[in-house]
Structure formats: C-alpha cells, structure tokens
A and B are shown apart, each in its own frame.
Chain A
Amino acid sequence: MPDYALPYQDDLGFTNILMSGLGGDGANMAAKLLFKIAVEKLNLDGGYDAKYGSEKTGTPTDVSIRLCPLGTPVRESGPTRRPHMLSVFRDKLIASQGLNRGLQASTTVMVNTSRSPAEIRELLKLHSGRILTLDATRIALETKSRMNMPMLAILCAQLGFPAEVVKAAIAAQWPRAQAANLAAFDQAVGQATSATFEPDAAYPLVEPTTITSPIGFANMLNGGAIDALTHLNIPAPDAEPLGRVPVFTLELCSHCGLCLVPCPEPGAIVWNDKKMVAINPVYCKGCMQCVEICPTTKRGKALVEPELAVV
C-alpha cells in the first residue's frame, strides 16, 4: 500500500471534490473509478454521491466525492457544499451552475476548456487557488477515449494518486479500451496548463448556496401552476449554443422543408416567409438529422456537419 496523504482536510478530515458535467459526459463513471481506487488501492474511505443517474443527454449534473482516512465516520450525504477541488467538464457550466459557490480558499480547479487559467479565474471569480486547464474534448477525440478520462487523469494527479496505480485501475476497468484510455491519461497529465492565484482581494470567498427563488409560498399561483405567458421557456438570443450546429449555406438551399421533418427542436430551424433562413444555435442540439435528410443537388448540400468543435 503506497504512502499517501490527502491534499486537503476539512475539520472532519475530508477532502471534498465536486465534478460538474452534462448527462452523457461520464462524470459518474469517473467518480466511481476514483472512489474505487481510493478505497481499494489507497485504503481511504469516504463516498461519492451522484445527483441522479439517468439524466437526459446534455442535462447539467454533478457528482460529489468525499475522501477521508479510513476510520473517519462518513456521515454527510448529498452534494458537497464546500469543495476543495472542482472538476468542470464544460466551461459553460461555471456560470450557469454557479460553480464558485462554497469554494474554499486555495481550491484546485480543473476545467475542460480552450481558455487560459487566467480567463477561467475571471469566469469563476475564484478567490484563490490553482487552476488547471486542458482541452479534454480534443484529447478524447484524438485518442478515441472519452472526455471523462483526461478529466479523471488530471484529478488523480492533483490528488497525488500514484499514476501507476490509477493506470492499472483504468486498464482493469475497461480492458478493451485500455490503450485509448491510457493514451488520453498521459496526454492530459502532459498537456494541462496551470496557474496559481493568491488571495489578492480580487474576489471574495462565496458562501455555499442557500436554495431560494423569487417565487415562494407567498406568491406562488394556486397549486404551483405556471403562467405560460410570463414563464415560457425562451432562451436569451445570446445564450450559449447547446451542441454542434450544422453549417447552413443559404445559397444551396431549395427551401424544400425536409429538414423540418426529423428535427426534434422547435425553433431550431428558422423559417421565414416560406424560406428556410437559418439554424438557431440556441435551440439546435446538434443531432444532425437535418444534415442526413437535406438533399444533395448538383450544386451541393445546404446543410453539412460542422468541423469537430469543442463546446
């Protein structure tokens, strides 16, 4: 059993880790393997608590991992409120999920992004700590692994888990994807960019979330009804795109309307005056069915798949 000490300890002896991702990103799987390594190889205790487990693809979700020396009573459950370590699978979640809440001083933050650590600090309004950024999406694509692999690699490295122990566990967990996963692991550790930010009063520590909203028991409509005219789900025009958006070339479009047929997203295909005019990236989820159905003519094809892009 290697000698190992956790990098952080709260007053109960725990290192608290929050992973934030979207349904389908594999955050739960990463947490599961991390905890398995902690228990089976490093003789630690703790737990991991998933938010749900059968999320729709693309729905924000999180998983909390608590690690402590064996013998420490494990009593809390649910999401950790005061993470020492934060792993963000998509940088757009930083704002939408309010990920800076409850972060401790000298946090370790790991983000899948093409942004720099300094940019992430601004986005996160981080009090202090170390930010590591890596392009996990690209690494996953290049190595034919999954995004959770580089994210797991970087987290294990920051936890100080011995690399050979982690790699052996990954290999054992997915024997068939071994080579791809280990390649992703190595790339992640090698390619992460990091910077450390001292507490310089730029941003204060933020208290954990207290759940509340403008509508409460005093102004809720009878039976919890929703006024559709004030609360219809209409995203802001400048909201973050949800996925890979097909490339539309107006000049090549015959306005046949076929793309409307398989599209499951009301509002994604924008139609005006009997003409297809655009794909609205705030509605489109990138399923590419419209690309599949869009006819190819002599002149070409109005809808094509975009280059692989990091979202």
Chain B
Amino acid sequence: MLEQRTIISSGNEAAAHAIIDIGYDGEGYYPITPSSEVGEYVNRAHAQGEIDLSFVVGTSELAAISTVAGMAIAGGRAVDVTSSQGLLLKAEELPALAGLGLPVVLNLATRDINAPLNIKNGHSDLAATLGWGWLTFLAPTVQAVYDLNIIALKIAEAVNLPALIAYDGFHTSHANRRIKVFEDRQVVRNFVGPEPPPRLSILDVRHPHTFGPYMNDDLINTKVLLDQKMDQALRLLPKIFDDYARMSGRRYGFLDVYGDADAEAALLVLNSAAEAAKVAVDRLRREGKRVKVVSPTVLRPWPSDTLLQALFTADRIMVAERVSQYGAGNYLANEIGAVLQRSGNNNLILSRTYGIGGLNFYPEDADYLFRLALNFPNVPDHEKRWKGYYQAWAGEKDYQPQPVATALTKEETTRNDGKEKIDLKELAEMPHRIAKHASCPGCSTFANLDMFLRGIDGHVVLFFNTGCGMVVTTGYPSTSFRVPYFHNLFHNASSTATGVMEMYRRFRRQGKLNDEITFIVVTGDGGDDIGMDQVIGAALRNDPIIVLEYDNKGYMNTGGQLCYTGLLGQRFTNANVGPHQRGKPQHHKDIVEILRGTHAPYLFQAGVANYRDLIAKARKAQKMVREGNFVFGRFFSPCPLNWGADPKVGFRIVDKAVKSCLFPLYEVEHGKTKLNYNPERAGLKIPVKELFTSMGSAFAHLAGEQFADVAAEIQKEVDRRWKRLVEMDANPAL
C-alpha cells in the first residue's frame, strides 16, 4: 500500500482533489449547483501554481463540453463537471464523445431534472445518460468520489470511451468527511499513466486524419464498437480494481453488497442511500431478518452476471430509485427484471421512487422499504402496487386558501401616461408588481427593477431567467409576483416571451383578448451569456418585448463565478487571484454593443443612482414596445454578497460606475446613439481606480500596487470605449 494522508473533504473537493492529482491537461467549466465547487477548487490550485492546466469557462455547458472535446481530439486529458439541466445542455455532445471514442471524464453531482425548479438531488440526470455510451461509475461516499475518478480515467483510456462519475448532489457533494488521498501525486499519475495511451490526434499534421466525418449506412458498425468497448471494459475492470486495491487498500467492484448472502429480501439502491440502508440492514438482522442491500458501483457496462449472483436468491427485491420513468416500469427495476427473467428466475420485484428534491433517505426509510418487501402483499392498501412513490403526499382534502391580494387593475397602475415630469411623490404610489422577496440586504437587482416598473403603466407580464432574481421571489407555494409570471429555466426567457407575445397578438386580432399587456423579461448578466443567442434572436426578429439585464458582473446565484461581464482581473470563485493567475483574464463584455449589430430599435443602459434617467427610459421603453419594437436595457447592479461590498453604498457604487465611464448612461434609438450623461463634460469624470476601492473584495485588489498594470489596462479600455461612444453621440451617422 502506498503512503496516504488524511484530509477532510467534501464530495466536490474530493473530485477536485482527484483532478489535481491526475494532472489533467484541461478542464471545461460552466457552473451549476451542486457541482460548481469542483471547478472552483481546481481553479484555486491552478491560481496557486499547484497545477498547470487550461481552465476554460464556457458560455454554456455545451460550450464547456465542446471545449473538452477539442482538448481530447488534440490528445489532451480533459475533464468536466456538471449537474441536471447542465447535463441536458451538454446532451448534444455527450453521445458524440462516445461515438468519437474520446476518453474524457465527466463528474456529475446528481440533481433532479425538473420544472418547477429544484436544485436538490435526484437521479434523472444520471438516468438520461444511460444509453449514451458512457462508462458510468457511482460514488456513494466522498472517498469513492476521489478513488473512482482515478479508476474511471484509467479504464476510459484503456477502451477509448468517455467516463462519468455520478455522486449524489448535496448528500455527497456537500458532505464533509475524513478521507484518504495519496501523499505523492506521482503515484496517481503513474497509475493512470504519465501520458494517455497513444491515440489519433488532430494536431498530427504529418499524418492528417478526418474526425467526425459524415457516415452513411456504416453507422451501425460504430454502435457495434460501442458495445464491444463496453464488453472490453467489463473484462478489464476487475484487474484495475485489484491494482487500485493493492495501491490504496480500498477495494471497489462492480457491486457493493452488504448483508446476508442468503437474504430473503434485497434492497437495490444507488449511491448515498445505499450507505444509509446498511444501517437498516444491521438493525433488521439483529431482529433475525435476512436482508441485504445491493448497490452497483458500475452502471455501464451493466454488470449483469454479478448482479444475478447477488440477487437471484432473494425472493423479494425492492428497487428504489431517485427517478421515475413515468407511465412505465422504472429504469433499474426493468433492467433487473430482465436479468432475472433471462436466467429463468421469477423473484418478486417491487419498485419505488423516493428521495427526489430535498427529501433525504435515512436508515428509517430503508427499514420501511425492507419491511414493505418482506411483508408484501400484506401491506397497507395504498402500498399494494408494484410501482409507486415513497415520501410523496396528497395534501389536505379541504384546504381552501383565502385571498390575500387582489389583481392589479390598469387604472391603479397607470401613473405615467401623458406625464412629462418625473415626480417621485407621484411614482411612490405606484403599487408594487413584485412584493416581498428574499434577496440579500442591499441587493441592487430589485432597486433597479422596482424603479423601472414605476415607469411602466398598466398590465405587465414578467419572465425571469434563473438567477438570484428568480430564486428569491418564489418558493412554493409562495410567490412575490402580484402579476403573471413565468420562469422557464436559465436562459430561455426571451424566446419564451416571444411565444407568449405572438399568442397575445393573435388572440387580440381574433378579438379573444382585450387587455393591453407589456411583456418584460428579467435576466442576470449570466443569463445573457448562456442565453445570448436567444436575446439576439428576439432582437433580430424585433419582437415587441422589453428585456432587462441586471449586470452584477457574475453568476451570483451559484456563488460568484465568472461572467463575461466581469472586469479584467476581477476575482471570482472560479477565477482566483494567485501567483499564477490574476483573476479574470479578459475585459468586460459589452452586451449593448453586441446588440447594436442587430439594429434593434431601442437599447439603453441605466442605473438606479440616476433615477430620472431610469424612469424616462422605462417610459420610452413602453412607448417603443407599444409601437411594435424590441427593447433591451441593462442596469449596473452591485451584489453586496459576492462583491464583498458594504450594502449601504450600493447606489454610490452605481454613481461612481457612471462617473468613471465604466458604465455610461446612454441609449441607442433606431441606430442613433445618445449619451444621457457626460461626466467628462461636467468635469466629474473619475478614474476607474476610485471605483474599485468601494466595490468590495472582488475588486479591491485592482486598486493596489500589484495590480497597477491591470488597472491601467482597464482604464485604457474604458477610455477607448468611452471615446467611441462620445463620437457616436456626436455623429448620428455612426
């Protein structure tokens, strides 16, 4: 056994630790809870110079995994992490990686795929991948996350298939445990091999290959190969497990079986739940019951023979899954039924779905499921079924919630019509379309929105992208929206609004709808990274909707990761500051200028520190959409939590951002640029450095001596962009 040391680690940290020990060439990254931290830890090590890898933050999960594909086709070792919707967004690329035979590794901190949105556990993401040709490992403990990452790469490169390691979101990703890691990284590197086994590379210009060709009827042969590679993995894995056991003292196999060899009832569960079930097994055995828990460590290739050995003697098998195949037998229950049936067995198989979302699985729960299996069919009536849900509830029969609010009328909410003047006293009386919410104290998101909405008359329908704004306004069964609202995942709001607006126009034409409605999309700046194409699409189609971006220079809801809007040098949880990395490597994105190329009728920037300007833009925005035009507006929006800024000074930061010309107040109306405020002309322009000191710990270092060169570069870039705007303001033709 080789020398190891004890560390305290979460599941996410363990994945990162393995990635660091392996010494990957590259990581593609896009944050999503609960897996985001993996990339953060890796990036921290990179910034500290402990490892040297290409760390690429994509515009989306699909971009991240496509970058990984590029790294792999160049012959590099590449890794990625994700969860849930993130996995779905990668979905186009994942079967392709298998088909192309690229041995990359993906860590999946499982999370249910859903709407309404929930960020907690569920195996529907894992289940979705089962037919995609990926070697699939399950890590039930924090220790296993580390170990299986190493094992997975070894087998992936041996058979040229991609490998996925799934561990339970929160239950394992956020569980902190004592684990063992190798003292010397070299040991890990020797185990996986200092270099990947030789394979074809696109960088081999001396012997060119064409990768990813169009293929005709030969395609079926690639499928044969996928199955053959899986079979090969089945043959090779026992030796890899042995070698790893010799090196680490920890033995993995296809299955983890715990309990009586001749159990009468077996419970088949995956990952963390299997650990809890072991406690139930101990307790039941003390009562004299013969039970065992069976938990696969390898799901693809499907270890049929080993499973058959473990299960055929158990008369009663409960297959409990954190996922459901609605309207059909469940994923594993079906596969296990098939294994048993092929060998002539007819054990009783019961199937239950459990532990979705925030629901936990404790030993008591395993105990319940074991007893259900042992006693079936002598169980309560509602349990007399082969498939069902455990832990769901029906609700109270006579629950009759009382109205607490009335719908806003057009009259109540018409405060701007025909008015030139902007009078705060009058606007103060505009009823709130958004009620109490759960943002951090001093969050600018709602200061901006609330003020903007005071400038909008009549009925409003709101669409939010996923992000802080969305997360703090609904929590079933409570809502902060007094007007109709739709959250349709992270990056889809503008296209969704287009769909609604199309029906609105149609129903109005048909005389089915008389209400006049203004459609407003609210998104974070991250939503306009991942959803950039959809915003551009709405602008290009000139759909009469208002899209509002609150630019807080980061992915704040997921813990402060890099957004392209961030400043050069800005500190992020995944763009750390250290001897080998100086925060974000590029200048800030300018979404309004990107949209300028769509020639959309009305684009603007505004901030709450200049409320008159903001209200005037709200009024103009409504006028524009009423005339059938697309509108995009962007707010500068300090985030006290992730900027590490004093909530008290939020609006002062906005003011400084404007005065430094980092965030000019301007609008582009039918192609004509107008500066609404020129700090230079007013003699009030300040250096950007003055801004950094008040913006909080994500920026403060930029005002320091060590970052003087970065600050100078930002200043230069800000000045360059500002000059361009001044010219455009002066020349309507520009």
Residues of chain A at the chain B interface (Cβ within 8 Å): 12, 23-24, 32, 35-36, 39, 45-54, 56-59, 73-79, 81, 211-220, 223-224, 226-235, 243, 255-258, 260-267, 271, 274, 276, 283, 285-289, 291-293
- Name the one of A46, A231, A261 contacting B451, with C-beta atoms under 8 angstroms: A261
- Name the one of A49, A73, A217, A261 contacting B176, with C-beta atoms under 8 angstroms: A49
Contacting pair A287 B175 (CB below 8 A): no
Residues of chain B at the chain A interface (Cβ within 8 Å): 6, 8, 33, 37, 115-116, 168, 170-172, 174-178, 272, 275-276, 278-279, 358-363, 391-397, 399, 401-407, 424-429, 432, 434-447, 450-451, 468, 471-472, 474, 476-485, 557-560, 608-609, 611, 640-641, 647-652
CA distance A156 to B271 in the complex (A): 33
Dominant SS among interface residues on chain A = loop
Cβ–Cβ < 8 Å partners of A52 in chain B: 33, 170, 174
Cβ–Cβ < 8 Å partners of A36 in chain B: 8
Q: How far apart are B371's CB and chain A's nearest CB, in angstroms? A: 17
Q: How far apart are B193's CB and chain A's nearest CB, in angstroms? A: 33
Known: A12-B279, A35-B8, A228-B484. 20 other contacts (CB 8 A): A23-B440, A45-B178, A47-B177, A52-B170, A54-B558, A54-B559, A74-B177, A211-B359, A215-B399, A216-B395, A219-B399, A224-B116, A232-B405, A233-B478, A243-B441, A264-B443, A264-B650, A267-B432, A285-B440, A287-B441
Contacting pair B446 A266 (CB below 8 A): yes
17 interchain pairs, CB-CB under 8 A:
A52-B33, A56-B468, A57-B441, A58-B438, A77-B175, A78-B360, A213-B393, A214-B395, A216-B394, A217-B392, A224-B476, A228-B481, A229-B406, A233-B435, A233-B437, A274-B429, A289-B447
Contacting pair A274 B401 (CB below 8 A): no
Contacting pair A274 B426 (CB below 8 A): yes
Kindly list the 7 A-B residue pairs having the minimum CB-CB distance in the complex, ordered from nearest. A216-B395, A257-B424, A287-B442, A54-B559, A57-B440, A285-B441, A262-B651
**Cβ-closest chain B residue relative to A280:** B436
Number of inter-chain CB pairs below 8 Å? 251
Dominant SS among interface residues on chain B = loop
Q: How far apart are A208's CB and chain B's nearest CB, in angstroms? A: 9
CA distance A48 to B8 in the complex (A): 10
CA distance A215 to B439 in the complex (A): 25
- Name the one of B116, B439, B479 contacting A232, with C-beta atoms under 8 angstroms: B479
Contacting pair B651 A234 (CB below 8 A): no
CA distance A79 to B174 in the complex (A): 11
Cβ–Cβ < 8 Å partners of B471 in chain A: 56
Contacting pair A274 B278 (CB below 8 A): no
- Name the one of A24, A211, A228, A271 contacting B391, with C-beta atoms under 8 angstroms: A211
Contacting pair A228 B479 (CB below 8 A): yes
Contacting pair B392 A75 (CB below 8 A): no
Cβ–Cβ < 8 Å partners of B468 in chain A: 56
Contacting pair A264 B444 (CB below 8 A): yes
Contacting pair A73 B477 (CB below 8 A): no
Q: How far apart are A71's CB and chain B's nearest CB, in angstroms? A: 11
Cβ–Cβ < 8 Å partners of A217 in chain B: 392-395
Cβ–Cβ < 8 Å partners of A79 in chain B: 360
Q: How far apart are A264's CB and chain B's nearest CB, in angstroms? A: 4
Contacting pair A234 B177 (CB below 8 A): no
CA distance A274 to B424 in the complex (A): 9
CA distance A77 to B405 in the complex (A): 41
CA distance A257 to B275 in the complex (A): 59
Contacting pair A227 B171 (CB below 8 A): no
**Cβ-closest chain B residue relative to A257:** B424
CA distance A86 to B116 in the complex (A): 33
